[in-house]
Amino acid sequence: MKKLKKIILLFISLLLLSSCFEIIEEITLHKNGSGDIAITLNLSQSKSKIASIMLMDSINGFQIPSRSEITNFVKKTTVTIKNTSGISNVKSSLDLDNFILNFSCNFENIHALNQVIAAFGNHKERSKINKQQHFIYNTNTQHFSRSYHYDLSKEFDKVKAIDKNALKEASYTTIYRFDQPIISTSNRLSKLAPNKKAVLIKVSGAAMLTGEHSIKNNIQLLKEK
Amino acid sequence: MKKKNNLLLALLLSTTLIFAQFKSLERIIPSNAEMVVSINGNQITELLSITNFDQSEIGQLLLKEMKRSSDHVKSIADLGFKIDAKAYYFFEVKENTSFHNFLIKIDNRENFEKLFSSRDRKKIEIINNTRILDLRGDISVWTDNSLLLSFSKSLHSTDDENSKTSRKDYALNLLKTSAINSVLTIPSYTKSKNKKASASFWVKNYSDFMSLMLKDVFKSMGKLRGYQNMDFYGINALSGHLFFDKDKVALKTTMHIDKEWQNDFKKIYDKKFNKKFYKYFNQNAAIAYFNLTMSTKGILESYPNIMANMYETILPKYKEETRVAADLLNIILDEEAIEELIGGDFLFVLNDLKQQETNYTSYDYDADYKKTEVIKTKQELLPDFTLMMSSKNEKFLTRIMRLGIKHDLLGNKGSYYSIIEAKKLPIDLFIGIKNNIVFLTSSENRLQQIMLGTFKSNLGKHKKLLSKNAMTFYVNGTEIIKKTPKDMINFDKKFEKLMKIVVNKKLEVALSTSKFKASKIETKLIINTPENEENSLRFFFDLFNEFVSNK
């Protein structure tokens, strides 16, 4: 009977092919290198599929985490971030009906911000992320850069054609706000706000994985005396 | 060494008898062959002419490729093979070498020989009108009208020069196969033959064949030592035929069950389809279904025995232990009580695929990229289905349902129940028990009709499929494609093109497994193709052409 349940559920989840999600990374960076970050992971567009999958223990040997396991992961990560020096005002909310995770905190300097990103990885990834520095900000030159060093295209080759199509619907958005106007950006997807103090990049999951586009950006701000 | 070999060849080939036999390809297949595949070129060329093939996209691609090396080839008929004759493949293992052999009729020897490079052609040996070519151990032997191709692979890890010489001898010896050694002396082979089939296969003993294939494929891996002689498939001879009719393709296979397993199979398949299921089946609301009719009692009684047989093969040391464990399991289980609760027959019907609008959260951004939450909608495809399962112990089931209500797993709907856990899903699920059948369905309306007795059944042609088989899997391909919105599945352009062709044409697939009868189980795969097409082979060939074509 348990097997039968699994078959029916798998069948339902297979029909719900559209596994789209969006990630939004918002950072407000002040001149002195302090600021705040908000990360939103929104899977609500695939909520039916996820809800069906979550009633199963595993798919093709891949363990499906339970609701409590997900809650625990978020709690643990939040605690890790709270205990990071230079971090304050940590807030997180998890909506397991719509599968939306909201996380935000304030940081005193760029080093603390990198620690926040590292905290979302596992132990091994954490030290790697720490070394690579996702964010660099030079208070003297007023230069801000966002980078990462994963080779996503290798991972993408492993993805099945049908899943690749689903990833087209997925997106990663970065929004960075500054005190002073932006002079130049390196990423050609950059869209500047009319006041020139904010920049938005939206990249589709597929374009990011094939390496066609990325969220990497070098931003030069106007130096004010 | 070479001289001695040539002498031997001359001796082998000097009898006229050999040539007489080589004219009938089938006769030289030895009785030791583990597997024989035949292709009935006559049938196939009647359904799909050589001209049609040559002019097709695939034909053109193939001919273009051939022209590069042999520029005389303008049609597949120019390859020198007699395409409208029967051709054979057979597999044999001798002295730890596996041989893959092909037997093909030739109608133009010169054309055939042009397929070899001029360098290779110089290596051809001619003895009494028989030509022999040994290309690094791949042997070709041919006359004016027949060809034998023999490829071999040593099952030892070393591959020495001696074994290569014996490969040539093997090929030449095949031509000597006498009427007493031929596969035609084996009753299971001759009985399996079917003149109407476009292609056929026959496996002498499935268990042996699988062991040999595993050896052949994994010889270098050396991991399979313990499993090399496994004999737990329970299948003796296996044969099958492929038919291309006007409006359907059929693949029919027959499995002969080993004597020692027959009793177990008999018990497992000792179950009749629950005819009460008919009352709740409507062919106009069934785009796919799956049914399984097996005896729970038979499975429970035979399972320990089958497992014991398997473990005895894998772990012969623990033969006594496995037997005791099997008997113990038989004592503990009350097969009849379980049979009463779970009948062992299931019918799953996919009634419909429905589009439903669902909400999701997304974000909009203002000029300064401040985000605000917005609710958007999208279409989702949801299955509407009914599962039926027979059970004679309604009392016990009703008690389970009451327990479910007590623990908030089930909702009480009067004569039926709703599953509360399903609330997390985009579809609803309901359970009802009536006429010794447990119903699980996504449609409350349908379950209400079933409980009230107002459900209208319509069996049509499906009655035969359901009642005559132990297992049936049916899919109405056209309906499924029709119901799936194009934007929902982002197949690539080629698939999209195919879907467009198929969507307006009738396409149904039915896979069924017969009951166990006269020590055999028959499996049929039938694909119904549109009636207004020339024939089913043409239909699939044209479809495939459309797929490879870049136009």
Residue B429 identity (one-letter amino acid): L
Pairing of strands A100-107, A143-146: unpaired
A113 in a structural domain? yes
Distances in Å between the alpha carbon of B240 and those of B65, B201, B250? 33, 5, 10
Distance of CA B220 to the CA centre of its chain: 27
Strand partners, A25: A39, A174
Of the two residues A62 and B525, the one the predictor is more confident about is B525
Considering only A32-41, B75-84, B164-173, B389-398, which range has the smallest mean pLDDT? B164-173
Asked whether the predicted pLDDT for residue A157 surpasses 70, the reply is: no
> What pLDDT score was predicted for residue B533?
86
Of the two residues B29 and A132, the one the predictor is more confident about is B29
| Helix and strand element counts for chain A (H, E) | 8, 13
Q: Which two tokens stand for residue B218?
A: 């994994």
Q: For residue B132, give the nearest of B6, B18, B1 by alpha carbon.
A: B6
Of the two residues B3 and B489, the one the predictor is more confident about is B489
> What pLDDT score was predicted for residue B225?
47
Check A198 against B369: CB less than 8 A apart. yes
Decide: helix, strand or coil at residue A65. Answer: coil
> What pLDDT score was predicted for residue A70?
83
A31 in a structural domain? yes
pLDDT tens for residues B168-195? 888 888 887 777 888 999 999 999 999 9
Q: Which of B380, B381, B382, B419 should be substituted to probe chain A, the one whose Cβ sees the most A Cβ atoms within 10 Å?
A: B380
Pairing of strands B416-419, B410-412: antiparallel
> What pLDDT score was predicted for residue A73?
83
B242 in a structural domain? no
As a whole number of angstroms, the distance between CA B537 and CA B528 comes to 11
- Residue B468 CB coordination number (10 Å): 12
B130 in a structural domain? yes
Rg (CA), chain B: 30
B275 in a structural domain? no
Could you tell me if B213 and B362 lie in one domain? no
A32 in a structural domain? yes
Considering only A48-52, A96-100, B540-544, which range has the smallest mean pLDDT? A48-52
A10 in a structural domain? no
Mean pLDDT of B509-529: 90
Q: Which two tokens stand for residue A61?
A: 């040997």
Q: For residue B325, give the nearest of B306, B340, B346 by alpha carbon.
A: B306
Rg (CA), chain A: 19
B383, B387, B421 ranked by CB distance to A12: nearest: B383
Mean pLDDT of A45-74: 76
Asked whether the predicted pLDDT for residue B295 surpasses 90, the reply is: no
Check A198 against B361: CB less than 8 A apart. no
Pairing of strands A22-29, A171-178: parallel
Residue B73: phi and psi, rounded to 5, are -80, 110
B357 in a structural domain? yes
Considering only B318-332, B381-395, B473-487, which range has the smallest mean pLDDT? B318-332
Of the two residues A166 and B281, the one the predictor is more confident about is B281
Check B426 against A177: CB less than 8 A apart. no
> What pLDDT score was predicted for residue B489?
58
Distances in Å between the alpha carbon of B239 and those of A48, B23, B24, B88, B444? 45, 25, 22, 15, 46
Check A193 against B368: CB less than 8 A apart. yes
Distance of CA A61 to the CA centre of its chain: 26
As a whole number of angstroms, the distance between CA A129 and CA A148 comes to 8
Q: Which of B361, B375, B428, B475 should be substituted to probe chain A, the one whose Cβ sees the most A Cβ atoms within 10 Å?
A: B361
Could you tell me if B218 and B356 lie in one domain? no
pLDDT band at A193 (very low <50, low <70, confident <90, very high): very high
Domain count, chain B: 2
Asked whether the predicted pLDDT for residue B230 surpasses 80, the reply is: no
Query: Measured between CB atoms, does A189 come within 8 Å of chain B?
Result: no
pLDDT tens for residues A3-26? 455 555 555 544 444 457 788 999
Mean pLDDT of B42-71: 86
Write out the residues of chain B at the interface with chain A, using a CB-CB cutoff of 8 A: 346, 353, 358, 360-363, 365, 367-369, 371, 378, 380-383, 385, 387, 421, 424-427, 488-492
Mean pLDDT of A184-208: 91
B369, B427, B492 ranked by CB distance to A175: nearest: B369
Check A45 against B367: CB less than 8 A apart. no
Q: Which of B200, B234, B268 is the last residue of a domain?
A: B234
Could you tell me if B349 and B229 lie in one domain? no
Mean pLDDT of B388-397: 85
Q: Which of B202, B234, B266 is the last residue of a domain?
A: B234
Q: A45: which chain B residues are within 8 Å (Cβ-Cβ)? A: 360, 362, 378
- Secondary structure percentages of chain A, helix, strand, coil, to 5: 35, 30, 35
- Residue A89 CB coordination number (10 Å): 10
A130 in a structural domain? yes
Q: Which domain holds residue A174?
A: 18-43+66-221
Mean pLDDT of A121-149: 77
The number of C-alpha atoms within 13 Å of A37 and in the hemisphere containing its C-beta is 23
Of the two residues A95 and A153, the one the predictor is more confident about is A95
As a whole number of angstroms, the distance between CA B385 and CA A15 comes to 13
B165 in a structural domain? yes
pLDDT band at B282 (very low <50, low <70, confident <90, very high): very high
As a whole number of angstroms, the distance between CA B251 and CA A183 comes to 70
Contact indicator for B72, B111 with CB cutoff of 8 Å:
yes
Asked whether the predicted pLDDT for residue B311 surpasses 80, the reply is: no
Q: B361: which chain A residues are within 8 Å (Cβ-Cβ)? A: 42, 44, 98, 100
Q: B489: which chain A residues are within 8 Å (Cβ-Cβ)? A: 17, 162, 165
pLDDT tens for residues B438-488? 999 999 999 999 999 999 999 988 998 888 888 999 999 888 888 877 665
State the nearest Cα–Cα gap between A193 and chain B, in angstroms.
Answer: 5
Average pLDDT, chain B: 83
Opening angle at CA B434, ends A10 and B335, nearest 5: 75
B368 in a structural domain? yes
Backbone angle region of A196, left / alpha / beta, with phi > 0 → left and psi within -120 to 50 → alpha: left
Mean pLDDT of A93-118: 90
> What pLDDT score was predicted for residue B15?
41
Query: Measured between CB atoms, does A52 come within 8 Å of chain B?
Result: yes
Q: Which two tokens stand for residue A73?
A: 């992961």
Q: Which two tokens stand for residue A140?
A: 């003297």
B125 in a structural domain? yes
Mean pLDDT of B104-124: 90
Opening angle at CA B23, ends B148 and B136, nearest 5: 15
pLDDT band at B2 (very low <50, low <70, confident <90, very high): very low
Q: For residue B261, give the nearest of B526, B519, B478 by alpha carbon.
A: B519
A51 in a structural domain? no
pLDDT band at A167 (very low <50, low <70, confident <90, very high): low
Mean pLDDT of B268-278: 86
Asked whether the predicted pLDDT for residue A163 surpasses 70, the reply is: no
B316 in a structural domain? no
As a whole number of angstroms, the distance between CA B538 and CA B469 comes to 30
As a whole number of angstroms, the distance between CA B310 and CA B317 comes to 13
Domain count, chain A: 1
Residue B378: phi and psi, rounded to 5, are -150, 165
CA torsion angle A116 A120 A121 A126 (round to 10)? 20
Q: For residue B31, give the nearest of B94, B84, B85 by alpha carbon.
A: B94
Mean pLDDT of B245-271: 88
Burial of B165 from C-beta contacts in 10 A (0-12 / 13-18 / 19+): middle
Contact indicator for A58, A64 with CB cutoff of 8 Å:
yes
Q: Which of B185, B203, B234 is the last residue of a domain?
A: B234
Asked whether the predicted pLDDT for residue A108 surpasses 60, the reply is: yes
Q: Which domain holds residue B363?
A: 345-546
Q: Determine the residue of chain A that is closest to B348 in CA distance.
A: A8
Mean pLDDT of A58-75: 76
Contact indicator for B390, B343 with CB cutoff of 8 Å:
yes
Q: For residue A147, give the nearest of A159, A131, A158, A164 by alpha carbon.
A: A131
Query: Measured between CB atoms, does A79 come within 8 Å of chain B?
Result: no
Q: Which two tokens stand for residue A132?
A: 């690579």
Could you tell me if B196 and B67 lie in one domain? yes
